[in-house]
Structures are given as structure tokens and as C-alpha cells.
């Protein structure tokens, strides 16, 4: 697949000496939804701001659709839309006017039909002439997305789009993001909510302390790093894990009624058959069993902690 953004050896050291990015390499494919995950202060926003031209890089390069983002900044910036993390709004302006302004600022001729379409897709059309200060936080968030889409960008950055947004609006925004991808827009999403990446992203990148520590297809990542857990509800409580089971990674619950067995899905042999056989031989019976897979959130926490 052809990358729409390619970031090479990108570093950023702020004036105070803080190194926010350390030689970041990253490629974003055309038309994908890319989830950029990382704890607070990991460098997510710095990375986005450099690509968009708000922050100047220290070294490295950012190529967007074949154009360098400093030398050919007009070409690159007109292709990008950015929805920032905070909610900065022009208090006394109306949603319609700010969208019209954004479109002009990004060098596109007026197109009332497009603005109407964008505002309607975000359920803002009936609020289009209200002053921004009258709008709720969720509405302001929508207006910022509408502004970013007003100039028909090929690449959309959503920096924590659902921070502080209620459940319903979150679902709405996810639908908007999916619809955008359908229309061919590449979406780069940063988020704290791993669930969001899990729901939306095609690929996931994890950034920690200014370094990209992992980029992987979401499904593959979950398959490879996702641990499975088998829980056995015992018919009779145990005081301790019986001898002879040392070879298995077993865990006994405090009250002795449950045995937990962890296994990797990528392993050739999960060991389940052998374990169940051994339990049978040892005369340990169970009433029920269930398996569960770790979520992206658990994977993420483990990755970040491993780095620390």
C-alpha cells in the first residue's frame, strides 16, 4: 500500500531542552484509520503538530503525498485537516462562518453546498447561525471537526476527539470517522481511550517517551500480543495448586474455587488439552470453564510498562 505520510528520523527538542521526539519513523497508508496511542506526554500531539506545521521539527523529514512539509508547505497543508485536542473557538462567530473562513484560509474557493453537507453530517445544520458561546462542549467539538473538513482534506488528524464527550456523541463521532474512511479520507486518531482505537483503527502505533515502540495491524496485534486466559470453576475448593502442575502457569484464586491458566494464542500448543488431561488424572473436577482474551488496553499497558 502506498503511504500518504512518511515520517523519517523525526526529532524534536523544545527550547527548554525537552526531547519530545526521538528519531521517529512512521508511515501512514492511504485510506486507513491509524490509531496513535500513548500515555500523556508521550509525544503524540508534538508529532501531529509537526506534520501540520504548527511546531517546527529539529531534524528529520515529513513527506505528505510526495511533498516535503517544510519546502512544499502549501501543498502539504492544504491536504491536511486538524482537529485539535482543546476546544479553541471563536466565541462570537457562528459555525457557518467559521467553516467558511476555514475553507478560504486553506485556499479553496467558496462552496456553500460542501459546507452545508459537512454541517449536516455532523448534525450542526440547525445550529449554524448560533454564536459559538451558546454551544455545548460536544457541539464545539463537532464544529472543530466541521472546520477541519471544510476544505476537503485528504488526511484528517483527530487529536483526542472524544475526550470529555458523552457516550452518544462518541458513537456519532465514530460513525463520522468511519464514513470519512469510506469516502477515501485517511484518518489519524490519537486517543487515550484504547477502546476507541480498538473499535476504529485499522492499524495501531504506540508511542512512548518520544519513541514509536510498535506499529502493527490492530487485529494482528491483538492476536499476537493478546493473551488468553482459561478460567476453571472448581467443583471442590483447593488449598493450593497441587504438586505436579508446576509446568503450567496456573493461578489459584484466593478462595480456592477458581483456577486460572494463561496461554499465548500465538503458541503452537496452547497446552489446554494436556492441562485438562492432567487435571482429570489428578481427580480435580470442575463445574464450568470460560476463556477470555486481553483487550487492546491491557496490551497497551503491558507494552508501555515493559518500556519503562
Partner 1 sequence: MNYYAIKAIYRTEMARMMRTVVQSIVAPVLSTSLYFVIFGAAIGSQINEIDGVSYGAFIVPGLIMLSIMTESISNSSFAIYFPKFSGTIFELLSAPVSFVEVLLGYVGAAATKSIIIGGIILSTASFFVDINIAHPAIMLLFLVLISVSFSLFGFILGVWADGWEKLTIVPILVIMPLTFLGGTFYSISMLPPAWQTVSLFNPIVYLISGFRWSFYENADVAIGLSLAMVFGFLATCLVVVWWVFKTGYKLRA
* Interface ranges with partner 1 (CB under 8 A): 14-15, 49, 52-56, 73-78, 80, 82, 84, 86, 88-93, 97, 100-110, 147
Q: How far is the CB of 58 from partner 1 (least distance, A)?
A: 11
Cα(63)–Cα(155) distance, integer angstroms? 13
- The least distance separating partner 1 from the CB of residue 169, rounded to whole angstroms, comes to 21
Which is nearer to partner 1, 76 or 208 (by Cβ)?
76
Residue 86 or 236: which CB sits closer to partner 1?
Answer: 86
Closer residue to partner 1 in complex, CB, 48/204: 48
Phi/psi for 93 (5° steps) reads -95, 170
To the nearest whole angstrom, how small is the minimum distance from the Cβ of residue 15 to partner 1?
7
Q: Which is nearer to partner 1, 69 or 294 (CB)?
A: 69
* Residue 9, φ and ψ in degrees, nearest 5: 50, 40
| Smallest distance from partner 1 to CB 297, Å | 29
CB of 11 or CB of 199, closer to partner 1: 11
Rounded to whole angstroms, how far apart are CA atoms 233 and 7? 50
Instruction: State the nearest-atom distance from the C-beta of 123 to partner 1, in Å.
Output: 22
Please, which residue, 36 or 304, has the CB nearer to partner 1?
A: 36
Q: Which three cell numbers stand for residue 33?
A: 484509520
Residue 32's contacts (CB-CB under 8 Å, 6 or more residues apart) are 1, 181, 186, 187, 202, 203
Closest distance of CB 107 from partner 1, Å: 4
Amino acid at each position: 500500500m502506498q503511504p500518504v505520510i512518511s515520517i523519517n528520523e523525526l526529532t524534536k527538542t523544545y527550547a527548554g531542552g525537552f526531547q519530545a521526539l526521538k528519531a521517529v519513523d512512521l508511515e501512514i497508508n492511504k485510506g486507513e484509520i491509524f490509531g496513535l496511542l500513548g500515555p500523556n506526554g508521550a509525544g503524540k500531539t508534538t508529532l501531529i503538530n509537526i506534520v501540520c506545521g504548527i511546531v517546527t521539527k529539529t531534524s528529520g523529514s515529513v513527506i505528505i503525498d510526495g511533498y516535503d512539509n517544510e519546502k512544499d508547505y502549501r501543498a502539504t497543508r492544504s491536504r491536511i485537516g486538524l482537529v485539535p485536542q482543546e476546544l479553541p473557538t471563536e466565541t462570537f462567530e457562528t459555525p457557518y462562518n467559521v467553516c467558511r473562513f476555514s475553507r478560504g484560509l486553506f485556499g479553496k474557493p467558496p462552496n456553500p453546498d460542501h459546507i452545508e453537507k459537512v454541517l449536516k453530517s455532523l448534525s450542526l445544520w440547525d445550529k449554524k447561525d448560533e454564536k459559538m458561546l451558546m454551544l455545548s462542549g460536544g457541539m464545539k467539538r463537532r464544529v472543530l471537526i466541521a472546520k477541519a473538513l471544510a476544505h476537503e482534506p485528504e488526511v484528517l488528524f483527530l487529536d483526542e476527539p472524544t475526550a470529555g464527550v458523552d457516550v452518544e456523541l462518541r458513537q456519532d463521532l465514530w460513525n463520522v470517522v468511519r464514513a470519512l474512511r469510506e469516502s477515501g479520507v485517511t484518518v489519524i486518531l490519537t486517543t487515550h481511550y484504547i477502546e476507541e482505537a480498538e473499535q476504529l483503527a485499522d492499524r495501531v502505533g504506540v508511542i512512548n517517551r518520544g519513541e514509536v515502540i510498535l506499529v502493527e495491524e490492530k487485529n494482528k496485534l491483538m492476536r499476537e500480543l493478546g493473551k488468553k486466559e482459561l478460567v476453571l470453576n472448581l467443583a471442590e475448593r483447593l488449598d493450593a495448586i497441587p504438586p505436579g502442575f508446576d509446568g503450567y502457569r496456573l493461578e489459584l484464586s484466593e478462595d480456592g474455587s477458581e483456577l486460572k491458566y494463561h496461554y499465548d494464542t500465538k503458541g503452537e500448543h496452547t497446552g489446554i488439552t494436556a492441562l485438562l488431561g492432567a487435571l482429570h488424572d489428578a481427580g480435580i473436577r470442575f463445574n464450568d470453564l470460560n476463556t477470555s482474551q486481553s483487550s487492546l488496553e491491557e496490551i497497551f499497558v503491558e507494552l508501555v510498562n515493559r518500556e519503562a
